[in-house]
Structure 1
């Protein structure tokens, strides 16, 4: 599951148990990336807040499938199989089109985004790639490119936060050896602004 000790749902007590109860899916399943924080529940609480507000808050303006697509792309760039598999399944579920989802994933893997996305959409992925691989090379012009493609500054902020979050999550997973064994792939919280509402879909 991970390279470090984790405390499972049935062994959890106190604050950790309360946090697990908030995020548990069917049969009290807790994703391994979240359980990897179990020895320090305060970091789990921080991760949960960041994840839910960045990807699953109802105040986001971009459709959630775009945010998930950015997450899959960043995870592919970082070679984080765990996050790719989780969020690819989430993306496919959101667009309800497995054939389209497969084409998108293949285009991402081959670096051929123009086969599946419009030019204005590609600007978001190019920004996420640069933020992931060469962040010191970003300039204000990279923001202007997305503006010229039709995205306002709020949507640009959403893309920034999603790309930044996935870099954090990818490094959590890769640094601790988190694996998908036992996870239910593709589940995610419903969109809302209640930090305690993790009703899964």
Structure 2
């Protein structure tokens, strides 16, 4: 599952066992990306707090399906198949429209400005996330201004920024530790509107 040792849910004790109980899926499994943290439970706790607050907090204003779309885009650009497949499955579930989801994926895998998947507002956000992923040192004040001009307010710009930044972190956790998708149920997330609920459903 990873290139380093991990502690299984069956063998977890103390703080790690409590964290696993919070993040497990309906079948009792824990995602491999989370088990990758098992030798240092505080980093698992930090990862989940960031993930929940960035993607699934009840105060977010950007639609959840579009935050997931940004995550798929960043993961594609970083070559992280693990996160692409997990979050594309989550996107499909949220949209409940396989054709629309497939159209979105085709656009993300190609030229963002082509196809019928986006309006100008969404394209502006995706281009921002793409540039932040591929050329972070080139970011400028004008990049935020373009988002504002497209109709995003400053709080929404922060949400877009944080999702792109979170996926850079998650992708590098996966790619740097060899986390595999073997044995996982795709598309589960801490989707409850309760902000302290980390359970994957």
For this structure pair, what is the TM-score category when the shorter chain's length is used for normalisation?
Answer: over 0.9
Q: Structure 1: which 5+ residue stretches go unaligned?
A: none
Residue of structure 1 in register with 2:31 after alignment? 31
Residue of structure 1 in register with 2:162 after alignment? 161
Q: Distance in 2 between matches of 1:176 and 1:33?
A: 9
Say which SS state the counterpart of residue 60 (structure 2) adopts. coil
Cα shift at 1:191: 4.0
The answer to whether the 8 A contact 2:112-2:123 is kept is no
What is the TM-score normalised by the length of structure 2?
0.97
Residue of structure 2 in register with 1:114 after alignment? 114
Ranges of 4+ aligned residues in structure 1 off by more than 6 Å: none
Q: Distance in 2 between matches of 1:156 and 1:8?
A: 38
> 1:2-21 residue pairs with structure 2 within 5 A?
2-21=2-21
Say which SS state the counterpart of residue 59 (structure 2) adopts. coil
The answer to whether the 8 A contact 1:114-1:122 is kept is no
Q: Distance in 2 between matches of 1:2 and 1:26?
A: 22
Residue of structure 1 in register with 2:127 after alignment? 126
2:82 matched to 1:76?
no
Cα shift at 1:110: 1.4
Q: Distance in 2 between matches of 1:83 and 1:24?
A: 17
The answer to whether the 8 A contact 1:15-1:41 is kept is yes
RMSD: 1.0
Aligned residues: 200
Q: Distance in 2 between matches of 1:62 and 1:194?
A: 16
Q: Structure 2: which 5+ residue stretches go unaligned?
A: none
Residue of structure 2 in register with 1:57 after alignment? 57
Q: Distance in 1 between matches of 2:144 and 2:75?
A: 22
What is the TM-score normalised by the length of structure 1?
0.97
Say which SS state the counterpart of residue 91 (structure 1) adopts. helix
Q: Distance in 2 between matches of 1:191 and 1:87?
A: 16
The answer to whether the 8 A contact 2:124-2:150 is kept is yes
